[in-house]
Structure 1
Amino acid sequence: MQKDISQNVLVRQILEKYIKWDRFADKIGMIPIPRGILETLGEEMTGEDIDGVIQVMAPLIKESVMFMKGKYDLKRCIETFEDYMRASGMNSDHRIEGALHHFIIQHELGMKWSLFAEQLLKEIFHEFLPSKNMKCQTSEKTVIATIELGSDFSEHDY
């Protein structure tokens, strides 16, 4: 009643979240962290800190994607990222405009986390598409990463 949806829709949402994320979360070492802690940690991060965290995260992301999706490639990385965003309650969207793909993240954690998200996305895309240039628009609460992937690219058709 609080969500103003039917029981069937709610059960489908719960099962879908479990299948896409929750059944893997413990196995890959995910733990819930209150938003306030992340905000506080972000305020103190330097550029070097962001670089260091991304260097530590890159192999963990690869291992997690391989475990969850059975293979490691760009499409599975994007899909896993989308699953994570949904499970964490952050707003995200993938919009296609011709050959351009816009990945929008709304986190509301401050500018340092925006810079972190921007750099992490650049790192992931550069690994798979080193010749492509990603452009980003970044604010205190939102990151929009834009890259040309083609109009027929879909992360769900692997």
Structure 2
Amino acid sequence: MLRSYQFKNKTKSVTRTIRIDEDIDFQLEKLAHEQRVSVNYFANQALRKFVEWDVFADRLGFVTLPSDIFEKLVGYTTDEQAKELGSWFGRNLAKDLIAFLFKRVDLETSVRALELLGPRYGKAFRFEYTNDGHLTTVILNHGFGRKASLFYSEAVKALLKDLVNTQVDIGLSEHQVFAQIVGPNEFRITMPAPVSPLVTQR
């Protein structure tokens, strides 16, 4: 039977009163109205991102890089350089991030880290994931071209295969990398919930 892992999205809520700057309150109200959600939703998402990502990214020296610049930089590398850089990232920075976030490096935390680096916070790629208890499939869609696929494929290989000693089949195309992990992997990553179309009260 599959276990369902939640990124602590279903934890019990508490009531806390805080003071915020007037201009921030105005922007929260504006965004909440435009996207038809509550101000509380935006505030909670911002705080969650801070405690789940920003604190650790700052400690590890992560910087925000426009996607066009990343695509240009990777494009200037040779195929071998792109592979070498990806492998180094998977073995070093990704491993450090996982250790910071989850206190252990294994298959489950590695896949969870890919979700954080992808659609949840890092925005480095789009992330698709399936698991039936025996075969885990991870797909990264990035749109940055073949050399970026070489970079990501080696990063995923180093992270999932070399670090956690797991059998992994890696494939790639122009804008996509996919990995299939064979074995009794009984966990499930819960993807970010879509924004509710309903207006809720503040």
TM-score category of the 2 structures, normalised to the smaller one: 0.7 to 0.9
Equivalence map 1:58-137=2 (5 Å): 58-85=91-118, 86-89=120-123, 90-97=125-132, 99-127=134-162, 128-130=164-166, 132-136=167-171
2 CA distance for matches of 1:118 and 1:3?
A: 36
Task: Tell me which structure has the larger Cα radius of gyration.
Answer: 2
2:43 corresponds to? 11
The number of aligned residues is 154
Say yes or no: does 1:52 pair with 2:90: no
Unaligned runs of 5+ in 1: none
1 CA distance for matches of 2:185 and 2:107?
A: 16
After superposition, the Cα gap between the structure-2 partners of 1:77 and 1:98, relative to the gap in structure 1 and judged at 3 Å, is: closer
Unaligned runs of 5+ in 2: 1-32, 191-202
Q: Which of 132, 143, 153 pairs up with 2:177?
A: 143
2 CA distance for matches of 1:140 and 1:97?
A: 27
2 CA distance for matches of 1:34 and 1:133?
A: 30
Q: CA deviation at 1:47?
A: 2.3
Give the aligned CA root-mean-square deviation in angstroms: 2.3
Q: TM-score, normalised by structure 1?
A: 0.82
Alpha-carbon displacement from aligned partner over 1:91-124 (angstroms, at most 9, x marks no partner): 2121124522111212121121112111211222
When you count helix as a share of all residues, which structure comes out higher?
1
Task: Give the conservation status (yes or no) of the 8 Å contact 1:66–1:72.
Answer: yes
Alpha-carbon displacement from aligned partner over 1:41-80 (angstroms, at most 9, x marks no partner): 1222222202331343222322222222222222222222
Q: CA deviation at 1:155?
A: 6.3
Q: Output the amino acid matched with 1:63.
A: D
